Chain A
Amino acid sequence: MTQKELNDQRLVREAQQAVLRMHSRRHFIKESAMGLGALALGSFLGSCGRRDSSSMTNITFDPAHPLLPKLPPFPGKAKSVIYLHMAGAPSQLELFDYKPELMKMDGQDCPPSLLEGKRFAFIRGVPKMLGPQAKFSQRGQSGAWISDNMPHLATIADELCFLKAVTTDQFNHAPAQLMVHTGSPRLGRPSLGSWVTYGLGTENQNLPGFVVLTSGGRTPDAGKSVWGSGFLPSVYQGVQCRSEGDPVLFMKDPDGMSRDLRKASIDAINEVNSQEYTTYNDPEILSRISQYEMAYKMQISAPEVMNINDEPEYIHQMYGTKPGQACFANNVLLARRLVEKGVRFVQLFDWGWDSHGSDENLAIDVGFINKCRQSDKCITALILDLKQRGLLDETLVVWGGEFGRTPMQENREGKKMPFKGRDHHTEAFTMWMAGAGIKKGYSYGETDEIGYSTISGKVEPFDIQATILNQLGFDHEKFTYHFQGRPFRLTDTRGKVIEDILA
C-alpha cells in the first residue's frame, strides 16, 4: 500500500470514529426501535394524571430567538426586577426588627426553651442574649421602625413594604442562598432571574435579559449557581457584568482585530454551527448562535450602558458612587441604567454581611455598620431615582439576605468571641420590597418580643418568589417547565402570593 492509501485509510477511520463519538445516548435511543416504543410508552404514561395543558402557562421557546419579549399570562405590574441580595445575611435586629425587650435580657444566659431541640450553625452550649446594638426610631407616616444604621433609608420608609416575619429552613449560606434564588437548597434548579427571562424574554435585544452584578470582594457562597439556568436552556442564565474595566470579560476585541474581522469570524462560526444544527437538531446550538450575535451587538451596547461616567455629577453624589472602583454603589446605579434600557432582571449581590463577631469586619458594631454605610445611601438613591423617572411603578425592588441573625450573641465552639456578633438564624428575619404594585409604607408580619420566632404574617422564600412572579404577570403554580418527565416550577409544591402586601 502506498503512503497515500494509508493516509486515506487513516482519514476514513478518523472520520468514522468522529461520527461514533457524536453518537450519543440520545441518538442510540432514537435509532433503536425498542427505544422508540419505550419512549412512546414513556410519554403515554407521562400523560397519565398530568394536569391538562390548558391550565398551564403556555410559553413557547424559540431557540433561534430565545430572548425575544414574550407576553405574561395576565398583565403584570412589574416589567423589571432589581433584586438586592445582601449576601451573608444582615442582622434584622440592628436594622428593622426593634426589640426593646431583648435589651432587658442583654448579657443574660439564653433561656433553655429557646435552645431545646434547635440547631445552630455555630452556637454551642448556652449563649448569652445580645440586645439591639443600634438606636431605633419610627420613621415616616407609616411609623416603620428603622435603626440609625440606615439614616437615608429611614427618610423613604413610606415607599417601602417590610416583610418582618420571613423564615427559611436552611442555616448555611450556600443552601440558603440557593433556596432564596432557585427554590431549592440543592444545586440544579433555575434561578429566579432565569425563570423570569425564560417566561418573559427581554425588551432590549442588544443587552442580556438577566444581568448579575457582584460586590463586596466575593461572589456569593453558593457560587454562580444562584444565577444559573438549571434545567432551563442555558441562554437564560445570568450574565455577570463588572462595574469597572470591561463590563463583560473577554468581550472586547483583541488589539489589532477590527470590528469587520470580528463580524466575519462570528459569521463563520455561526455558519459552522448552523451546519451542526442541521445534523443534530440540538436547540442549544441555535441558542449558541444567537448568543454570538448578541455578544457582537453587546460589544457596542454593553460598554455604553455600563459606563456610569456619563451620569451627571449630582447623580453620582446622590448614589455615593466611586467611579473606577468596584463597589456596591456603582452597581446600584448600573441597575437603574440597565432597567431603564429594558433589561428584565438585575441581580445584585453584595458580600460581607455575615456578622458573626469573629473578626473586625464581621462585627455587628464595626464591619456591619460599615456595610450599612456603604449601601444605605445608594439604595435610597435608587428608590428615589426610579421614582422620579416614573420607573418605580413598573420596577420591583427586593432587598434581603438569605436568613436572619440570632437574638443570642454567638459563642463559637462555646467560647467568647473577640467581637460582638450573631449567629445564623432561620426562624425570623426581615426583607423589604418596593415599587410595582406593592403597598407603600406597610409592614407585614411580626416576631415575638425578642425577635426569635414569628407570631404572624410568616412568609417563606417560596411565598416571596410567588409574589415576585405574580407582579410580573405569572401564576406561579401554572408557570412550569417540563423536565425529566414532569413539570417543574420555581416554587416547587409550595408558595402563596402574599396578597396582603399588594396595593
Chain B
Amino acid sequence: MLASITEFVAHFHPSLVHLPIGFLLAGLLLQWLSRKEKYKSLQQAATIVLLGGAITATLSAITGYLLSISDDYDKKLVGWHQWMGISTTVVAWMLYAWQKKPRRYINKNVIAVILLALIIITGHLGGSLTHGSDYLTRPLRSSGSDSSSNAGIKPVPDVQEAVAYNDIVKPIFETRCYSCHGPNKQKGRLRMDDEQALMKGGKDGKVIEPGNADKSEMIRRLMLPVDNEDHMPPREKPQPTEGQIALLHWWINNGADFSKKVKELQQPAQIKPVLLALQQAPETKKDFTAVPATPVEKADTAIIEKLKAKGIVVLPVAQNSNYLSANFVTHTSIGNEELPLLLSLKKQLIWLKMSYTNLDDSHATAIGELKNLTRLSLDHTNITDAGINSLKTLSNLQYLNLVATKITAQGILQLKGLEKLQSMFLYQTPVKKEEWAALKAAFPKTQIDSGGYLVETLPTDTVQVKAKKY
C-alpha cells in the first residue's frame, strides 16, 4: 500500500516539473527587468516568484526521486537528470536568499546565469527520459527510420549454420522489444539486450523458463489477445508475426541457449518451415498499380479541366502524387481533341483506361507516345494489329488489356520487347488455340490470360435436394 502511494505521488513528477521551469524563468526575467529604473518595482515580484520557483523545484525533486526508484529508466540518464535537478533546486534557493538579503561576496548575475543553464539542461535530460534521447533531433534526421519495424530482419543465408540466439532470436527482440526493454528504457525493470539481464527478468520475476516455453512469462504475454492489458508488445506497437512467436517458443523450449547453432537444437516438424523461411528475403511484392518512384512535376490543370469537361475522369493516382490516371468511362466516342490533350499530360499519365470507346488504329500512334503508362486498357475497342505496332514504345507497361479486340497473335508478337509487361488479357480476340503456346513462349515473364473459361453445368447444379425425415 505504501509503495503504491509513493508511486502515485511520484507520478505527479511529469506535471509538477513544469511549474519550477515557469516560475524560475519568470523570476529571472523579472529580476533582469528590475535592473532598469523604470521597472524597479518588479524587484519585489521577482522575490515572490523565485520563492514559488524554489518551492516547486523542491517538490519536483522529491517526486522525481520517488519516480526514479519506482520506475525503470536508463540509470545513467536518470542520474544526471537527478543531480542537475537537485542543483537547480539548491541554486534557486540561493538566488532567492540573495534576493531577500543581497550579499557582497557573490554576484547575483552569476547565480542567475548558472540557474538558467541548469534549468535548460535538466529540462532537456527530463525530456530525453520520457520521449527518448533522439526525440529532439528526430525531425531533422531522414524520415525513413519508421520502417525499422520490419526491415531490420535480414534473411539468414544458411539457417542450420546460424546461431539460434544471435541470428534468429536477437533480431526479433531488436525490432520488437528493445525500444522499451533495451539500453534506453527498462520498463518493468526488464532489460533484454543484455543476456544476463534478460535471463534475470523484470520486476515480476523471470520472463524465460529455459526448456519450458509454455511456462515462460514472455510467451504468455505474446500469446495474450492484443487488447489484453498484459499483452506484449503493447497494442499500438508493431507486433511480431506468428512465425516469430513460434521461433521464440522453439528457442526457449530448447533451453534458451545463447551460443548453440540451429543444427544443434531439436527441430520439431512445425518449426522446420518457419526456420526455412528465414533463408528467403521477404518476397518482393508484385505491384500492379505501380507508381514510378521518381517524382514528377504537377500537370497543367487547364488541360485536366478540359478533359474533365468532356466527362473523362482524370485524377492523380493518390493524394500527394502528381502522376495521373485517366478513365473514359462515360465518354465513349473519341473526337479530335482528346488524344492531343492526353499527350500534353504524357509525363504524368501512368494509368489509361479507354475501354468500350470507339478508339481505332488512328489513335494508336498518340497512345504509343504516352511512354510512362504502366496500365493500359484498350478492351472492347476497334484497335487492330496495325495499331498495336505503335504500342511497342510503351516500355514501362505492366498491364495491358486487349479483351474483345481484333488483335491476332501476329499483332501481339510485335510487343515482345516490352520487358516490364506482367499481365496481358486477350479474351475474345481472334488468337487461335494453337497459337497460345507460341505466345506464352514469346512472353516468358508475362501472364497471358486467354480467358474463355467455362463453368460446366453439373447435374447437381439444377437439382434441389429433398428432405429426409429423421
Contact = CB atoms under 8 A, between A and B. Distances in A.
Interface of A: 57-58, 69-77, 151-152, 155, 203-206, 314, 317-320, 340-342, 360, 363, 365-366, 369-370, 373, 376-377, 380-381, 384-385, 387-390, 393-394, 418-420, 437, 456-458, 473, 494, 496, 500, 502-503
Given A203-B329, A205-B330, A393-B423, A365 B455 contact: no
Contacts of A151: 458, 460
A389 B461 contact: no
A381 B457 CA distance: 11
B319 A390 contact: no
Interface string B306-328: 00000101011111110000010
Contacts of A500: 241
Nearest to B329: A342
Interface string B436-470: 00000000000001111111011011111111111
B291 interface: yes
Contacts of B291: 75
B72 interface: no
B443 to A, nearest CB: 15
Nearest to B320: A73
A206 B330 contact: yes
Contacts of B427: 388-390
Contact of B315 (A69, A363, A373): A69
A503 B464 CA distance: 38
A389 B451 contact: yes
Contacts of B451: 387-389
A151 B453 CA distance: 16
B452 A205 contact: no
Given A204-B330, A393-B423, A73 B319 contact: yes
Contact of B470 (A70, A204, A388, A420): A420
B135 interface: no
B76 interface: no
B467 A366 contact: yes
A165 to B, nearest CB: 11
Interface residues of B, number: 52
Contacts of A496: 226, 239
B101 interface: no
B403 interface: yes
B289 A75 contact: yes
Contacts of B468: 365-366
A377 B455 contact: yes
Nearest to A59: B319
B425 A389 contact: yes
B297 to A, nearest CB: 17
Contacts of A58: 319
Contacts of B454: 314, 318
Contacts of B242: 456-457
Contacts, number: 130
Nearest to B465: A369
A426 B289 CA distance: 36
Contact of B318 (A72, A377, A458): A72
A377 B461 contact: yes
A390 B425 contact: yes
Summarize B's interface: helix, strand, loop or mixed: loop
Contacts of B227: 494
A479 B220 CA distance: 34
A203 B313 contact: yes
B253 interface: no
B402 to A, nearest CB: 9
A71 B449 CA distance: 29
B404 to A, nearest CB: 9
A71 B318 contact: yes
A388 B423 CA distance: 11
A73 B318 contact: yes
Given A318-B454, A370-B464, A390-B449, A76 B329 contact: no
Contacts of B286: 503
B433 to A, nearest CB: 15
Interface in B333-392: 355, 377, 379
Most chain A beta-carbon neighbours within 10 Å: one of B319, B425, B454, B457: B319
B8 interface: no
A370 B330 contact: no
A138 B226 CA distance: 32
A390 B401 contact: yes
Given A75-B317, A393-B423, 11 more contacts: A77-B288, A152-B455, A341-B329, A342-B330, A377-B457, A388-B449, A390-B399, A418-B470, A419-B467, A420-B470, A496-B239
Contacts of A319: 455
Contacts of A74: 318-319
Contacts of A502: 285
B470 A71 contact: no
A390 B293 CA distance: 25
A380 B455 contact: yes
B436 to A, nearest CB: 14
B288 A370 contact: no
Nearest to A74: B318
A155 B321 CA distance: 40
20 contacts: A57-B319, A75-B318, A152-B458, A204-B330, A320-B457, A320-B461, A320-B462, A342-B327, A366-B467, A370-B464, A373-B460, A373-B463, A388-B453, A390-B377, A390-B449, A393-B399, A393-B423, A419-B467, A458-B225, A496-B239
A76 B317 CA distance: 8
Contacts of B313: 69, 203
B329 A384 contact: no
A270 B470 CA distance: 63
Contacts of B316: 71
A377 B469 CA distance: 28
Contacts of B321: 75
B455 A390 contact: no
Most chain B beta-carbon neighbours within 10 Å: one of A155, A387, A388, A502: A388
A71 B458 contact: no
A496 B401 CA distance: 34
A74 B323 CA distance: 12
Interface in B272-324: 285-286, 288-289, 291, 311, 313, 315-321
A466 to B, nearest CB: 13
Contacts of B377: 390
A388 B403 contact: yes
A461 to B, nearest CB: 14
B415 to A, nearest CB: 15
A307 to B, nearest CB: 16
Contacts of A503: 285-286
Nearest to A76: B289
A390 B317 contact: no
Nearest to B241: A500
Nearest 6 pairs between A and B by C-beta? A388-B451, A390-B425, A384-B453, A390-B401, A360-B467, A388-B427
Most chain A beta-carbon neighbours within 10 Å: one of B311, B454, B470: B470
B395 to A, nearest CB: 20
A206 B291 CA distance: 29
A237 B64 CA distance: 55
Contacts of A366: 465-468
Most chain B beta-carbon neighbours within 10 Å: one of A393, A437, A496: A393
